[in-house]
Structure 1
Amino acid sequence: MDLEKQGAGRPVPPPRPSSPRQPEAAGEGCLVVAVRLPVRIFVFLVVLPVRMVWDACAVAVRWLDRAVFRPLGRALWWMGRAVFVWPLVGLWRYGLVPLGTALSWLGNLVVVVPAGWLYRHVLAPLGHALLAVLDRLTRYLVVVPGAWLYKWVLTPLGHAVARCAKGLAWLVGMLVTGIGTGLYWITRILFVLPLLAVWRWVLTPVGRVLAVVAREIGDALGHAWRVAGYVSLAVGRFLGALVRWAVVEPARWTYARVLTPVGHLVRDAVLRPAAEAGRAVGRAVRESLDSARATLRQARADLRRMLVGERRPTPVENRREPIGGDTRTLGSSTTALTKD
């Protein structure tokens, strides 16, 4: 009794719902168990190459998008703007808008203003006069005869037509009801009951089997696609590592450990001494050419001096005014008037 009382106060935990994707083993039939494993193996073998090709195409498309399509799209965008958008904008802004403004002003001046004047000063007074006369004519020529015709002719005729239509509708309804009842029972006996039997005893079991097969195929496809993704990722990483350790790392090691020291050795032992020797030879050649040029210039000057003689220096005439004590004054003897 104490145990029952202690257990009665505790809440009973709700039962855990089973996953719709993974039915319980007790609810699965032998057909599900027999179909699942072969279908999953076959679908995995079919899906794995497709997934690997899909991943390779996705990598190639991402590279093409990053390296080709985006720059090409930007170039085409700017080309399209330069070829189409900017000329159209210029045409709209500097051609169509001023032309539309001019046409609007011209239409207002030619059409709107005369039409407004005609409406205000001609049509409106004429319309008011005609409205005053037509009101009376309409009352005595249209309203009064129309009311009399509606009251004494159309109303009795309408009541008679309504009674006839009501009787005809009742007769048609009875005929349609009888014919519909007969057709209902004929259709039920000839079509509905056989179709219901076929649906209940043939199509429903076949549909359940096909639903189980389709569900298992769908689950197998999803499972195989995910597993093939992992396999494709592993293969891609393996190939990347293989290329890295087979090509990249040997090339890097060769460049760092072989080509770089050899290049430094060739630079220090061959290229730099050769460059220094070339610069020394160049300097020696330039100095030899300079000395030969100076010797030739000296020999040519000596030959000219022997043939022509020494050239007298050209006196330089000082045309400036004397400065300081050499300034010309009246008391100085340098002027022409006080010269002895």
Structure 2
Amino acid sequence: MNTENPGCLTGAARAVALVVVLPVRLLWDALVWCGRQLWRWILAPVGRALGWLVHHLLVTPLRWLWEWVLVPVGKAVWWVVDLLVVTPLTWLWRYVLGPVLRVVGAALAWAWRVAGEISRAVGRALRWVLRHAIGRPLAWVYRVILAPVGRWLRRYVWEPVATVARAVRAAAREVRTALFGGPR
């Protein structure tokens, strides 16, 4: 495309595009500017103040409660849960379920591949049977019976009928011209 010497249609298209796009772009730039000012002067300071309040009135007391009251209790509870739940489940997964699922997954993958091979073999056999049981006999019937009958019908039935029909149309045209005159 030649951009150095645009044609008049290109110039007109650019002018129309500018007239349509310019107000949208100006509106967009104004909205972006308003959003930045809103963030800078209102939302960010209010967010910082709320963050300070939440940190000093909620997070600091909860952290103290967690570290000095609930953490020792939590450590004891975690030790019991780890000993009675996590360790047996880890052992069960590592030594029982994991190996069994890997074997089952490998068996399913092998069965999927074998089923695909069998499916392709059945498809090839079915295609061969259909070609030899239906396709070849139909081709023979068409080639040996239908095509010669069709050629005979065309030569000895259709062509004489078409010749007679052309002659009748020509005679009817002549009669119409003789009775009613030529085309207007």
What TM-score bracket applies, with the shorter chain setting the length?
Answer: 0.3 to 0.5
Which structure has more relative contact order (CA 8 Å, sep 6+)? It is 1
TM-score, normalised with respect to structure 2: 0.45
The structure with the larger Rg is 1
Richer in helix (by share) = 2
